[in-house]
Every structure is written in C-alpha cells, then in structure tokens.
Amino acid sequence: MIRSVISGFGHAFPKRIVTNKELEETIDTNDAWIIQRTGIKQRYVAGEGETTASLGEEAGRKALDRAGITSDDLDFIIVATTTPDNTFPATAVDIQNRLGMTHGAAFDVQAVCSGFIFALTTADTYIKSGMAKNILVIGAETMSRLMDWEDRTTCVLFGDGSGAVVLSAHQGDGTTADRGILTTHLRSDGSHKEKLYVDGGPSSTQTVGHLRMQGRDVFKHAVGMITDVIEDAFEATSMTAEDVDWFIPHQANKRIIDASAKKLNIPPEKVVINVDQTGNTSAGSIPIALSQAAESGRLEKGQMILLEAMGGGFTWGSVFLRW
Ligand code: COA
C-alpha cells in the first residue's frame, strides 16, 4: 500500500510582530484580558510587499529544501488559504510560478482554519491512488487583512504566517506500523455559517469584507467537534490517546486546546503550543506548529502525530500519522 510521508517542512512569518501592549494603544483591550482568555501574547502582521503568496513561497521553498527535491519533482501544489492575494487566480498558481514550475497543477483549498487538514487529506488521496509522487501542501494566510481593526472581539485573535510540508509516496505494508498518514477525517456543517464568517465577497457585496464571529458560540461547539473527529481517528487505527506522541492542534486559543487535550486524556507535555507567539493563523497554524516542532528536534521518526482543526463553516477534521 502506498503511504504519504512528510518528507520536508518549513514555515515563514512576516517581519513585524505586534504585541498585545501595542494593541492597547489603538483599541479598548489589555494584555491581561487577551492572555487570560486566549493565551495569545503577540502575532505577526504582514507589511508592504508581504503577501499570502510570498509567505507561502518562503515556507514552500524551505519544505522542498528539507525534502531534498525541487519544484521539478512536484506533481501538485495545494494551498490552503482563506486570504488569497486575488479572488483569482488561485494563490497556488502564483506560488507555482514563483517556484518556476510549469508542469503539473496547482490549486487552492478553502476550509478556513481547517484548510490545512482538508488540503493534506486531498494530497494524501492523490498519493495513495498513485496519481502523484510528491505534493507540496501549504497553509498560508494574511488574516490581518480580513480584520476590522476596530473590533476588539476579533482583531486581537488572529495573525499572519505560513507553513508547508512535502508529502511523498512511500511503500508501506498497509498496517498501522507504516510511516506516513494512517487516517484522515473531514467534516463540515454549513448551518453554523453565522457564527464565524466574512461579511463580504464578490457576489454579495463586491468587497472583501471583514471577519465576524460569535466567539462564545464558536467556543461552545469547538471542543465537541474536535474530540469527535479525533475519536474517529482512534477508531480507524485501533489506537488510543496513549499511542499519541505529539498532539499538534489548530492554534486558535489555548483554552480550547487545553480543554480538548483534557477531554481526550492527552497530557500537556505532549501538546505542541505556539498560539502565544502567533495568534490564530488559520490554515497556516498547524503546518507552522508542526514545522517548529520538527525543527526543534522534538519529533522522532516512528512517533505518532495527531493533527486537528476546526474553523468557519463550520469545518473540522483530523489527520493521524506516523512521523
Ligand atoms: N479586550 C477586552 N475586553 C474584551 C475583548 C478584548 N479584546 N473582547 C471582548 N471583550 C469583552 C466583551 O465585550 C465582554 O464585555 P461585557 O461583558 O461588558 O459585554 C467581555 O469581554 C466578555 O466577552 P465574551 O465574548 O463573553 O468573552 P469570552 O470569555 O467568551 O472570550 C473569546 C471571548 C473570543 C476569547 C472566546 O469566546 C473564544 O475564544 N472563542 C473562540 C474563538 C475562536 O477561537 N475562534 C476561531 C476558531 S477557528
């Protein structure tokens, strides 16, 4: 059986860091409130010349270098983003061009904060079916450009950044001892649209719009949805929380992460957290956290890594893989 193994990883941030203290100067908020409610201390904010494609390109190049391949070896580029630089063409084809790739195909996936999980699952399906050998999967966002910077209930939560992985085809035995992605689970439910959405778009307002959120309602649903798709991953692999070496969740809010880990009986020392440094980078968040954990040497070959996300839509999903 063909398995998709992560053969390279990388991440990129804009240059500018905006601390909670800095936000105190422009909106009625304070460092202590933000830390207590979310765990966030700072976020990166894109400046002039920094775009979703430029961040995605930088993360993508690092992932290709680590995998020891070039864009010539790629079959697809899949970019998860909810902040494309243009409504069209897709950010993925811009990145394809920046990487000098003129063969294969590149396209975007839109599932907001769950985007990377959806993109990874799509890439895994191409690899397992034999249609592709190497796929660059990128989560890239400039969420700062979707913010209403006068709305303190949302603008303190989000940040910009990008993470990327190269998925490569490896022959496995078809058992859970194989390296690579062992199981993926995707869900969505459009009836929750009003709880987290952008109030604009080409066919509604002909504007980009701003992110709007009923934070309490999102919080209320998040833990249940996250733990549901993780239980699905455990059932599909006949594994339990005890088999998880690293839990790398979507970094929306430390309280949601803590509550999910507690409900699943995953101890805090196995949870990768960077939301304090990055804020919620939407589709960028999981690949950034994964790349940072791998770069720091924490992830060891053969370990079980659990990824999950939940976001606007609602969309939610999990990926369980052996490193
Ligand atoms: N600074 C200071 N006060 C703020 C504030 C800010 N940035 N934002 C909101 N407040 C105020 C509210 O106006 C409210 O004041 P009031 O009681 O006078 O009306 C008070 O703080 C409590 O607001 P509430 O929304 O009930 O707070 P909360 O405890 O639910 O925390 C969130 C708010 C957004 C942090 C929390 O609901 C949350 O994390 N939700 C999930 C969001 C998320 O992760 N979304 C992305 C999913 S991908």
Q: Residue 125: which residues within 8 A CB-CB, separation 6 or more?
A: none
* pTM check: above 0.85: yes
One domain, residues 156 and 204: no
Same domain, 80 and 163: yes
> What pLDDT, on a 0 to 100 scale, did the predictor assign at position 266?
97
Q: Which of 111, 146, 171 is the last residue of a domain?
A: 171
Residue that is last in its domain, among 144, 171, 198: 171
Split at pLDDT 50, 70, 90, the class of 247 is very high
Number of domains in the chain: 2
Same-domain status, 146 and 241: no
Q: How confident is residue 81, by pLDDT bands cut at 50, 70 and 90?
A: very high
Per-residue pLDDT tens over the stretch 124-174? 999 999 999 999 999 999 999 999 999 999 999 999 999 999 999 999 999
Task: Note whether 24 and 145 are same-domain residues.
Answer: yes
pLDDT for the residue 82: 98
- Rg for the chain (alpha carbons), in Å? 18
Question: If you average pLDDT over residues 257-284, what whole number do you get?
Answer: 97
Burial pattern 67-91, b for ≥16 Cβ within 10 A else e, equals bebebebbbbbbbbbbbbbeeeebb
Asked which of 171, 190, 218 is the last residue of a domain, the reply is 171
Q: Are residues 161 and 194 in the same domain?
A: no
- For residue 152, the model assigns a pLDDT of 98
Pair 264, 297: CB distance under 8 Å: no
Assess whether the C-beta atom of 218 lies below 6 angstroms from ligand 1. Answer: yes
Instruction: Based on the fold, state whether residues 17 and 150 are members of the same structural domain.
Output: yes
The pLDDT assigned to 69 comes to 98
Contact in structure between 261 and 268 (CB atoms under 8 Å):
yes
Report the pLDDT value the prediction gives residue 283, as an integer from 0 to 100: 98
| Residues facing 108 on adjacent strands | 79
pLDDT digits (tens, 9 = 90+) for 106-116: 999 999 999 99
Residue 129 and residue 236 share a domain: no
List the catalytic residue out of 113, 134, 192, 253: 113
Answer whether 31 contacts ligand 1 (Cβ < 6 A): no
* Domain encompassing residue 257: 180-322
Question: Do the strands 180-188 and 134-142 form a parallel or antiparallel pair, or are they unpaired?
Answer: unpaired
Task: Provide the CATH number for the domain around residue 289.
Answer: 3.40.47.10
Q: What is residue 10's predicted lDDT score, i.e. its pLDDT?
A: 98
Same domain, 140 and 201: no
Where does the pLDDT of residue 276 fall: very low under 50, low under 70, confident under 90, or very high at 90 and above? very high
- Same domain? For 70 and 146 the reply is yes
Q: In this structure, are 20 and 109 located in the same domain?
A: yes
- pLDDT grade, residue 271 (50/70/90)? very high
Q: Is 155 a catalytic residue?
A: no
Residues 144 and 191 in one domain: no
Q: Which of 211, 219, 251, 278 to mutate to test the pocket of ligand 1 (most atoms within 8 A of CB)?
A: 219
Q: From the candidates 134, 155, 250, 253, which is the catalytic residue?
A: 250
Same domain flag for 6 and 143: yes
pLDDT band at 4 (very low <50, low <70, confident <90, very high): very high
